[in-house]
């Protein structure tokens, strides 16, 4: 059962949304220490629609930083459509829609997809943290970037320090 | 005229946003009965920038489920930028930005586009419902997926149960 | 230091979010006079990851309207993940994630990218306005649309009045 929505609850929802936004910013900016601090120690995760399962915050962050840590990996993970319910004053569930793009210049591939997250959050010492995160894919697709003639990368957070070299 | 924004009104805005998010989740997860329950009976809709017009909730849901019901249709409809005003305690208008992708594996095509929604909502028995929804396209484009050599689908909500088969 | 989040502050956050959404709607709908009214006169901007710098609201709007004014330019700029803090009752900072697509039919190119905005807002005469906006790119890419055989535009805000001509 969800607690009834009122102004005090809205404050909690905003704080939970910011937790999720910080998670995604850390993911796409490769901020691993800040990312780690967003999880409870025994957090669980299910990525790739259940293909990758983890049951420890350190293992989650290790998995992500291994997969995404190389500066050739350029990612945009964007969530929208939060449907968040507090199930107690210190527990919440959240559904989100995800659209993500990963451009990996090491292998010259683009991966794109869409998914729905099902998360759980807990409030510890007045801070909301991620207890579980996981998503199931609506679709995912991959293509070699050489298949689109003239496709070029004109900016990179890492190799051009975020500056456009277009035109 | 919009009612002045205060904490009580924010609660109503959050509820209207969740209505829209539920609408889009039902659309992309093909949940037709739950989708139908989000509309008033005499709801109107204008899709494709006015190309498809409906003036009855059953007709709207029939139209959507006919167009999107096949498991070969993989869609991601994502809205952002809500500009919602209450025009009375039980009526509201809302503008949203839409980005959408549809991958249809039956015909091996991708359709992608951007649009702005102009919606109307009404509160009936303490629940917000959709009275009108419609959008106008900024752009829409389509391409045969065979034109990008090596483009493959690596996950599908329906054929891989949302699990990635990448790599 | 951020002011502590409570219901009154949430109202201010909602108003700042709507300022940003209006900015992006004006950008993609080419509403230059409405766009100009969203900035303080001495606003500053940094686009393209610092490639284009402006220190006057008129110059910012001139730059944008020169770059985006032609009806051949079809753009979708979408922001998510607001992390907004009030640093005083009339000053705020905001981080946003951006995903953008520009289809330019004059040159038959698509530009796509992702970035993070770092903005500053000020409240003047009870209205929030943009004092600074700027972003740094995670990535940006461009390709000639002729490289994808059969890629066609099937709707345009300007040339089809937003109506789909698909199928």
pLDDT tens for each residue of A37-96: 999 999 999 998 888 999 999 999 999 999 999 999 999 999 999 999 999 999 999 999
Q: Is residue B158 part of a domain?
A: no
Residues of C in contact with B10 (CB under 8 A): 7, 10-11, 14
The residue of C15, C153, C154, C159 whose CB has the most chain B CBs within 10 angstroms, and thus the best one to mutate to test that interface, is: C154
Q: Is the pLDDT of residue C167 over 90?
A: no
Q: If interface means Cβ-Cβ distance under 8 Å, which residues of chain B face chain C?
A: 5-7, 10, 13, 48-51, 78, 80-83, 95, 97, 99, 111, 113-116, 135-144, 147-148
pLDDT band of residue B48 (cuts 50, 70, 90) is: confident
Q: Is residue A2 part of a domain?
A: no
Average pLDDT over residues B140-166: 97
Q: Is residue C11 part of a domain?
A: yes
Q: If interface means Cβ-Cβ distance under 8 Å, which residues of chain A face chain B?
A: 5-7, 10, 13, 48-51, 78, 80-83, 95, 97, 99, 111, 113-116, 135-144, 147-148
**Residues A118-164: pLDDT tens digits?**
999 999 999 999 999 999 999 999 999 999 999 999 999 999 999 99
The residue of B53, B135, B137, B151 whose CB has the most chain C CBs within 10 angstroms, and thus the best one to mutate to test that interface, is: B137
Q: Is residue A25 part of a domain?
A: yes
Q: Is residue C133 part of a domain?
A: yes
Average pLDDT over residues B84-103: 98
Average pLDDT over residues B50-60: 94
Q: Flag if A10 and B14 touch (Cβ within 8 Å).
A: yes
Q: Flag if B14 and A6 touch (Cβ within 8 Å).
A: no
Q: Is residue C50 part of a domain?
A: yes
Burial annotation B89-118 (CB, 10 A radius, 16+ → b, else e):
eeebbbbbbbbbbbbbbeeebbbbbbbbbe
Q: Is the pLDDT of residue C147 over 80?
A: yes
Average pLDDT over residues C63-92: 97
Which of B76, B148, B151 minimises the CB distance to A138?
B76
How would you write chain B as a 3-class SS string? CCCCCCHHHHHHHHHHHHHHHHHHHHHHHCCHHHHHCCEEEEEEEEECCCCEEECCHHHHHHHHHHHHCCCCEEEEEEEEEEEEEEEECCEEEEEEEEEEEEEECCCCEEEEEEEEEEEEEEEECCEEEEEEEEEEEEEEEEEEHHHCCCCEEEEECCCCCCCCCCC
Q: Is residue C121 part of a domain?
A: yes
**Residues B2-28: pLDDT tens digits?**
999 999 999 999 999 999 999 999 999
Q: pLDDT at position A51, please?
A: 87
Domain with B116 in it: what CATH number?
A: 3.10.450.50
What pTM value is reported for the model? 0.97
Domain limits at B14? Answer: 7-147
Q: Is residue B167 part of a domain?
A: no
Residues of B in contact with A114 (CB under 8 A): 28, 74, 76, 101
**How many domains are there within chain C?**
1
């Amino acid at each position: 059962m969800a607690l009834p929505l009122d102004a005090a609850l809205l404050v909690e929802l905003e704080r939970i949304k910011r937790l999720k936004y910080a998670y995604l910013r850390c993911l796409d900016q490769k901020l691993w220490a800040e990312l780690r601090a967003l999880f409870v120690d025994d957090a669980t995760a299910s990525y790739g629609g259940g293909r990758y399962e983890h049951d420890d915050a350190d293992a989650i962050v290790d998995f992500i930083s291994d997969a995404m840590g190389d500066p050739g990996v350029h990612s945009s993970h964007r969530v929208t459509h939060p449907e968040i319910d507090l199930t107690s004053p210190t527990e919440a569930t959240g559904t989100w829609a995800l659209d993500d793009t990963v451009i990996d210049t090491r292998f010259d591939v683009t991966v794109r997809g869409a998914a729905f997250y099902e998360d759980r959050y807990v409030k510890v010492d007045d801070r909301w943290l991620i207890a579980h995160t996981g998503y199931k894919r609506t679709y995912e697709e991959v293509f070699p970037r050489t298949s689109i003639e003239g496709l070029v990368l004109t900016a990179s957070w890492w190799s051009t320090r975020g500056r456009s070299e277009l035109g």
